[in-house]
Amino acid sequence: MSDTVSELLRGASTQARVVYALALRETRTRFGQHQLGYLWAMLEPMFWILTFWGLFAIVDRDTPMGMEVIP
């Protein structure tokens, strides 16, 4: 049983390293070729959040289940 658990943990560790390497490669490929690429990786989601927040405010629509957007 101990061998099975250690084998499972070793396999999970290997898979985690593979996923991390793929994510790192994707990030470098997508954003690393430009000087402001990594900054853009942070700014783009913030831009979309602010855009939808503004649209919801203009339309005067409530958030789902009455949740606060900004506490």
At 10-69, the pLDDT tens digits run 999 999 999 999 999 988 888 888 888 888 888 999 999 999 888 877 887 766 777 776
pLDDT of the residue at 63:
66
Q: With contact defined as beta carbons under 8 Å apart, do 31 and 40 qualify? A: yes
Tokens found for residue 71: 């506490």
The answer, yes or no, to whether residue 1 has pLDDT greater than 70, is no
Query: Rounded to two decimals, what is the model's pTM?
Result: 0.54
Tell me how far the alpha carbon of residue 7 is from its chain's centroid: 29
So what's the pLDDT on residue 65?
Answer: 73
